[in-house]
Amino acid sequence: MTGRSKRIMYRIFLIVCGLLAVLGTVLIACYAIEHVRAKEYSYLWAFGVAVGLLCLLPVNTLVHELGHLTFGTLVGMRFSSIRFSRIRIVRIGKRLSGNLMRMSEVAGSCEMYPRSDRHVRGRMIAFTLGGTVFSVLYSVATLVCFFLLPMSPVTYFFALFAPLSILEALAALYPIETATGKTDGAVMCGIIKKDPSAIVALNVLTAQGILSSGSFRDIKRGLLYDVPVVREDDTGFLALLTLRFGYEFMHANEDAAMEAIKRLEELLEYLPGTSRAEFSCDLLYSYSVLAHDPVKAESYMTDAASGMGTCGYYRAIAAYANLKGELTASTLSRAQVAAESESIAGVRELETAFLARIPKPSET
């Protein structure tokens, strides 16, 4: 079956399941008709709030992503970011930051990485399954309470999202790669079958696990280079290039580091907005410090500004200011403070090394 045929089948699957979910929601909603006729308007409020949340922050999406977060935490993974509809919460260093995202096909997402390089494959399987498990448990629990306990506006409200939670679980389990990435089912199949893309992703996660409490010097070169060939727009490959950039820099191979970052530059169009800002900061720094190219460096100022608040942003701004001969002690100090607050040991060491390549204002 071709990729186009698979996508058509997936859309048909979603339409059928979606119609069943709507039918189930309508049937549950109808249970409150007699209460409304008896002027128990709290049920109308419950229905209205449910409709409002469906547009702003769907409970079914919230439950699904919390499932990933919970299972990931239980198996020893570290939180990176989570998204519910337009709301995105990101871990920057040791603090959490929230922001509003543009509307897209992605209703929710959760990003985590292992705290060590042990049992990465098993941890990833548990993390991936967590969303579906929570969605199913939520649906079963709310429907049991709704039908077996005396009806109330509270049980009515949560039961309205039960069919949608089942839809969420089924859509996540369907193994396919869409325009916005792989479903949980596709990720699981890849891990089980040891697809090239899955192997690259697991290598990336293993390296991130090492960096959690170690250093780039603890990573074996083969982990980043002895990998199967995958598509250039594969998210795992893009992350691998970033790791190669840091690895080569920490091993004092600046030419190889520039080669990795330039390869990433060629693929920048495939990156989502948040990652684009992060990698633009790396490009701004590289062209300011390693290549001394003010024109290329300035071309990444706008994209890098979207990463404001991260240690990568402050490091890049300090590097560019030094290139322009405008570096101040306060700018460099702010970058140093941001680097020291980084919670990942390997990244903290890398950021410190990046800053060490920037001459202090008195030395310029």
pLDDT digit string, tens, across residues 236-251: 898 999 999 999 999 9
Q: How far apart are CA 16 and CA 20, in angstroms?
A: 6
**pLDDT at residue 116, as a whole number:** 85
Q: How far apart are CA 247 and CA 253, in angstroms?
A: 9
357, 254 Cβ separation under 8 angstroms: no
Q: How far apart are CA 79 and CA 172, in angstroms?
A: 20
Mean pLDDT to the nearest integer, 273-277: 71
Give me Rg for the CA atoms of the chain. 24
Contacts of 202 (CB under 8 A, 6+ apart): 120, 121, 124, 191
Burial 201-238 (b: 16+ CB within 10 A, else e): bbbbbbbbbbbbebebeebeeebbeebeebeeebbbbb
Whether the per-residue pLDDT at 273 is higher than 90: the answer is: no
DSSP-assigned beta bridge partners for residue 293 = none
**Banded pLDDT at 283 (limits 50, 70, 90):** very high
Q: How far apart are CA 219 and CA 340, in angstroms?
A: 22
**pLDDT at residue 364, as a whole number:** 46
- Give the DSSP letter of residue 293: -
Query: DSSP string of 42-80?
Result: HHHHHHHHHHHHHHHS-HHHHHHHHHHHHHHHHTTEEEE
Q: How far apart are CA 98 and CA 158, in angstroms?
A: 26
Mean pLDDT to the nearest integer, 20-36: 90
Q: How far apart are CA 184 and CA 182, in angstroms?
A: 7
Name the class of domain 194-363: mainly alpha
Q: How far apart are CA 352 and CA 175, in angstroms?
A: 41
**pLDDT at residue 56, as a whole number:** 77
Mean pLDDT to the nearest integer, 25-49: 87
189, 175 Cβ separation under 8 angstroms: yes
Three-state DSSP class for 194? coil
Cα-based distances in Å from 204 to 75, 97, 178, 209, 261: 18, 24, 22, 9, 16
Q: What is the pLDDT of residues 60-118, one digit of tens each?
A: 899 999 999 999 999 999 888 888 877 778 776 667 777 666 655 456 788 888 888 88
Mean pLDDT to the nearest integer, 178-192: 87
Mean pLDDT to the nearest integer, 171-176: 92
**Could you state, in order of their start, the residue ranges of all structural domains in the chain?**
3-184, 194-363
Average pLDDT, the chain: 88
Whether the per-residue pLDDT at 226 is higher than 90: the answer is: yes
Q: What is the pLDDT of residues 308-352, one digit of tens each?
A: 888 899 999 999 999 999 999 999 999 999 999 888 899 999 999
**pLDDT at residue 13, as a whole number:** 93
281, 249 Cβ separation under 8 angstroms: no
**pLDDT at residue 272, as a whole number:** 64
Query: DSSP string of 31-43?
Result: TTHHHHHTT-THH
CB atoms inside a 10 Å sphere around CB 262: 15
Mean pLDDT to the nearest integer, 162-180: 90
Mean pLDDT to the nearest integer, 9-13: 92
- Using alpha carbons, select from 88, 110, 82, 92 the residue that is nearest to residue 101: 88
Q: How far apart are CA 282 and CA 264, in angstroms?
A: 10
**pLDDT at residue 25, as a whole number:** 94
Query: CB under 8 Å, gap of 24 or more: what pairs does 97-106 form?
Result: 97/309, 101/273, 102/273, 104/180, 105/178, 105/179, 105/180, 106/180, 106/181
Residue predicted with more confidence, 344 or 133: 133
**pLDDT at residue 34, as a whole number:** 84
**Banded pLDDT at 1 (limits 50, 70, 90):** low
